[in-house]
Structure 1
């Protein structure tokens, strides 16, 4: 198929790449293998008729913070905020709550209020110039990002952010509540919490809750994907679903942008041997085991305040969550896993009733059924939960990969988010979105800045493609390079 620019894959990065190219006047063709656009932004009736569930992402903090997405005119997209961004229940005391307001959050942290203000609070106060810097780790940076005040805030944040969550939690935080909150946030990284950078992952997510909130898209994440496709078509681009690209030789375009995994790219093209070897060394992260439920009412949380949270972290103390994530990192299944749970009805009653989803981390490619372990963790903090279940839908790693080929082995992060792959994603390069094939670019979550609904990988790949000096891709070029 031919066009001026072809984008393969319609996850958040592919969609943003296509829109960015179209905004610059390029003739764009977007190709998606699945029947519906969106990748991780798809929604469906997974349990009961009329109940809208998100197959992938639900919480959209990154979308509001992203410099690639926050200025787009997306018709029909309404971001709705739960009363509480996130909650972390504990066994013998009130849950820790993350509010949009830093002050209200700090009220629940007691002696750890000062360290929260000095870490997550620094990012929130610095605002978009600093988050833009964090979401564009390799540049280019503008004057706002390079202001002395922004750089100073980045330096103050950077020291604790580089630490393992366990080190930061035990040496900077003094209360059980503060340490547990940090662990629940840091475990989004899907890393062993004793690994470097995990403290930074947690603090960044906390800061985003204060800066932009942790909102949902009213009606389901599919609404955001459909709005991006509609914008592309409004700009004159084409979008075709149900079309799988097996080889780059099928395409005829000056520019090809690939929202695919490194493993898929290796199968799609003949690549120079050194680059192929480097790409083949890219490491997968853990998988997830995901459950969706239709309930006959809200989750009966022991602490009623948790009912107002869009996102809930289940796992107890820093020590418990650290043990759970260490088990996964070692290739084992935790009997008491850290569970990330989202209750969309706290913000969006338009989804047809009380829908709920949760997942836990498992070794990549695991075939173990974690339904009992996940539901036991929910029951631990919400006795009587199982009695509310009308229907459930199960997706282990194999089902997730079948629904989205980028989720190899159930890895929703686009590859291990370790320190080594933070700077080598998917290979070490000052412009890792560019490939050795002229005019061909990678833009999936396996490129910087990594996972999340921010579109920055697509934005950066499209920015490089728009440089006039770039040679054009042709199907007879790059094969056997």
Structure 2
């Protein structure tokens, strides 16, 4: 029997372990924390009975993921909860735009830009069942659906600011698109930032932006349950500081950043082969606030009261300025805010009649600046009286996020900057393999990069399987 070690029990580490265990490899996962999950952890961070997702919290790519969809996660307790509206974006004067499940509702809400939005998004939505395997597949592969991919790529490779300005006539539609593109965590005039906006937009229409009932820890528990049902195991409370700390195995997969890989590898990587890992650029960090609330956030616009996720940042120019400042090492006094209010749709998150919410903004990597006041001021612009419903708060600056999960270097949620050139080589080619034979990276620092979808782990497992001489089942549907 082949043996494999996996270091780190985030969604990618667990996915890599499951992919190998499904073909009979005996896998052991080593996790430093007392519970598995990496950033999939739910804690009472403010007051007793108020349950907060400290890291990952909303999962459009989770329900879209070909790998997650191949697993019996529901049999192991996972229940997706879909908000009434995936995303709302409040605007000055009490207006708001929204991303609905229905393409028709979304276009109607965009008024003058209804036709432009439909022309942009409908072809992507129609091809989505084919495109998802291209978007979340290996960076370099022979496309199974070349026409669909080519049509998507012509739009996706454009900077978000350019595509928004050339497509939409109104600031309302541009604001919605810019907020989606800001999930790329790079300046919105960078190439391929439109890809993130297109993918996140179409997921709302094709699958949704759900939360996990009870908190994101339920996803980790379900993945762990699948792994143990296949004979794998997870050892918590076991920090791995060196490859020498691991038992003998036929291969090892590391759910860590490139910088952490070098520390664990030590002198097993020759100096001349360390450069790609040393030079791998971190993305901006975040400052995140969790709130216990006496009642729901008092948004001016009722669409925001029906949405699971809310983007707060007025129009495109304000959003773009905030994202550029964070990328270039400056803090912004009016930061773009990503906010979620899961207790509106999952009553297990708070005591009866009470609520939880969280929000974060991007900050320079490693910045210790506390942006609580700026975050709350931004929300207050569109929800007057918000501060009056706060019962308690817990703020984590970028260094505190890293202390909570060492994989979040400098508070970076994405495993490294997602600018196009780095996406293509995260951190080197070929991806997943390292200078050490039989040792592979399987974290979000590898393709297809950040997001909770497990595909980095599943694709790294394919590379490891070749080394082991075993074959993994294809995630691409056969025609």
TM > 0.5? yes
Which of 206, 215, 219 in structure 2 is aligned with 1:220?
215
- 1:153 Cα deviation after fit: 2.4
Secondary structure of 2:451's aligned partner: coil
1:184 aligned onto 2:179: yes
TM-score (norm 2): 0.94
Q: How does 1:236-247 map to 2 (within 5 A)?
A: 236-247=231-242
Q: Deviations over 1:332-375 (max 9, x none)?
A: 11000000000002321221241000000100110111000000
- Mapped to 1, the partners of 2:161 and 2:338 lie a distance apart of 19
- 1:93 Cα deviation after fit: 4.9
Q: 8 Å contact 1:83–1:346 — kept in the other structure?
A: no
| Greater CA drift, 399-408 or 117-126 | 117-126
Q: Deviations over 1:359-410 (max 9, x none)?
A: 0010011011100000000000000000000000010111110111110100
- Mapped to 2, the partners of 1:397 and 1:83 lie a distance apart of 31
Residue number in structure 2 paired with 1:336: 334
1:154 aligned onto 2:149: yes
Q: Deviations over 1:219-274 (max 9, x none)?
A: 10001101111111111111111100011122211010000010110111121334
- Mapped to 2, the partners of 1:273 and 1:470 lie a distance apart of 30
Q: How does 1:42-57 map to 2 (within 5 A)?
A: 42-57=41-56
TM-score (norm 1): 0.93
- Mapped to 2, the partners of 1:121 and 1:280 lie a distance apart of 42
Q: 8 Å contact 2:139–2:424 — kept in the other structure?
A: no
Structure 1's unaligned 5+ residue stretches are: 472-481
Q: How does 1:64-103 map to 2 (within 5 A)?
A: 64-74=63-73, 75-103=76-104
| Greater CA drift, 394-403 or 322-331 | 322-331
- Mapped to 2, the partners of 1:266 and 1:290 lie a distance apart of 28
Secondary structure of 2:39's aligned partner: helix
Residue number in structure 2 paired with 1:281: 279
| Greater CA drift, 88-97 or 292-301 | 88-97
Q: How does 1:129-208 map to 2 (within 5 A)?
A: 129-138=130-139, 146=144, 150-208=145-203
Q: 8 Å contact 2:438–2:467 — kept in the other structure?
A: no
Q: Deviations over 1:28-50 (max 9, x none)?
A: 10100111110111111001111
Secondary structure of 1:304's aligned partner: coil
Q: 8 Å contact 1:123–1:131 — kept in the other structure?
A: no
Distance 1:260 1:400, change over 3 A: same
Secondary structure of 1:466's aligned partner: helix
Q: 8 Å contact 1:65–1:128 — kept in the other structure?
A: no
- 1:123 Cα deviation after fit: 2.1
- Mapped to 2, the partners of 1:38 and 1:461 lie a distance apart of 18
Which of 263, 271, 274 in structure 2 is aligned with 1:267?
263
| Greater CA drift, 406-415 or 87-96 | 87-96
Q: 8 Å contact 2:130–2:148 — kept in the other structure?
A: no
Residue number in structure 2 paired with 1:397: 398
Residue number in structure 2 paired with 1:370: 371
- Mapped to 2, the partners of 1:120 and 1:357 lie a distance apart of 29
1:435 aligned onto 2:434: yes
Q: Deviations over 1:246-303 (max 9, x none)?
A: 1112221101000001011011112133431121110001000000000000000000
